[in-house]
Amino acid sequence: MEEDKPSDATLPRVAYFQHEDIGLFHYGREHPMKPFRIRMADSLVRSYGLLDLKNITVHNTPTASRDDLTRFHDADYVRFLETAEQEAEEEPSSRARFNIDEDCPVFPGMYDFCLLSAGGSIAGARLLNRGKKYGSHICDSASGFCYVNDIVLGILELLRVYKRVLYVDIDVHHGDGVEEAFYTTDRVMTLSLHKFGNFFPYSGDAGDAGAGSGVGYALNAPLHDGMDDASYVALVAPLLRQVMTHFAPDAVVLQCGADSLSQDWLGTFNLTLKGHGFCVDFFRRQGVPLLLLGGGGYTISNVARCWTWETAVALLGAEEASEMLLEDGGTVPRTDPYVDYYLPDLSLRVDATNRPNLNSAEYLDYLRVRFGEALRNLPHRPSVQLGQDVSKIAAEARVSSNCRQMKTGRKTVEDGLPEWLTTLWDVDSNDKDRADRQRQRGDRPTVFSVVPDNAYLNSLTSYFSTPLFASSTVRP
């Protein structure tokens, strides 16, 4: 009923970050990552009139500085990014060292793209920090196959003000880079819901649960092909409620990679917009400061549909967003400059297919029960003093230029995970498949450097966000 609709006074305030150049970069004709999808998403957001709502403000995405990047990344690596275009053919050894290949190629304007990518996430986090007095959240669209880990940079910024940060990754790929960056701290909990098995980055076993003071603060939900809305919500809803109870984050970062949608060119899940947007609506209703980020997504018309939908959810909530965008046919406005890219189907919906769901009810029950036990076994709710030196988390240890072993310093099953954790996830140190996966990961070259707490080494050749917008939701 009309009287039940939220008033302007009760809607969260949203700050939307955008930059007109972010969609112009080009990885190459055959590369699946198309930054142009960000321009399409921004255009569709505007075509639906979302930027005309009273609870949104629009900000121009600033570029990050070199100093911003080196808070986490090795100075040599940042210098390489600055000069890679000029030296691409002259320094093959540098390309190999920094994992520059057909997946992460050198392309025109690459360094500028990195600065914009990091700049949006950092600016969104800083806006949340300034808004702490009244509560806020940020949403930030993104591109994958990335060169800098803007998510880690954003979280480090949040840790200047917030005691505990929750990172949730709903990209179809495991959020390995962010997990590894905070693997040994209890101030950041990471939760990744991803396809597991013979699938990049070949990581994210449920038994990978943190090390040192971070034991239990890395949560991994290894899923199978065909994950649909009903199964997803049945798993995620109770899990998120328990995380909010037992970890009690002061701020949340949610990475909304669209490759977990149905019909994605690389993804294997079967989520519709409503299933994919469940987490956005959940955290919006918590009233917790929230930074929303994009991620992967390789059917570009569906990426634009997804991030437009989730911008509307952040602004209005799922019910109101559905009334505004999906009812009466829910078609892409013909006035949108990129309307031809959606043909022949102008529907905003992304329908599920007949792909079978390989996630059995028994398997999902197993995950729900085990996650509940894991969260109840957390030793304590971490408590730190505000103003604590974040450099203790972003430690000044650097990954040596020739180091290739990612897991140095990380506790393994053999050298010290707690008994309750190994028992909980049925972890077997003699599991040959697990050992093979770990060796496969360890053989990948490392790219990044400054690492938190106990200074384990990490490889960040994964999917991270490149900002289109950031929305800061503020409840009066």
Extract the annotated binding site for a divalent metal cation: 171, 173, 259
Annotated binding site: 103, 144, 171, 173, 259, 298
Tokens of 74: 């090795």
What is the rounded distance in angstroms from the CA atom of residue 174 to the CA atom of residue 202? 8
Strand partners, 253: 167, 291
Q: How far is residue 336 from each of residues 76, 177, 440, measured CA to CA in Å?
A: 43, 36, 45
Tokens of 219: 């949560």
Angle CA 55–314–129, to nearest 5: 75
What is the rounded distance in angstroms from the CA atom of residue 219 to the CA atom of residue 215? 10
Q: Which residues contact 43 (CB under 8 A, 6 or more apart)?
A: 304, 336, 337, 338
The CA dihedral of 242, 276, 139, 194, to the nearest 10 degrees, is 70
Q: How many helices (DSSP H) and strands (DSSP E) are in the chain?
A: 15, 8
Closest-CA residue to 180 (of 460, 466, 464) = 460
Name the DSSP letter for residue 446: P
Annotated binding site for substrate: 103, 144, 298
Side chain identity at residue 394, one-letter code? A
Tokens of 123: 């600016």
What is the rounded distance in angstroms from the CA atom of residue 364 to the CA atom of residue 232? 9
Strand partners, 271: 261
Side chain identity at residue 316, one-letter code? L
Give the DSSP per-residue string, 339-388: GGGGTT--BS-----S------HHHHHHHHHHHHHHHHT-S------TT-
Residues 395, 450: contact at Cβ < 8 Å?
Answer: yes
Burial 235-267 (b: 16+ CB within 10 A, else e): bbeebbebbbebbebbbbbbbbbbbbbbbbebb
What is the rounded distance in angstroms from the CA atom of residue 189 to the CA atom of residue 193? 13
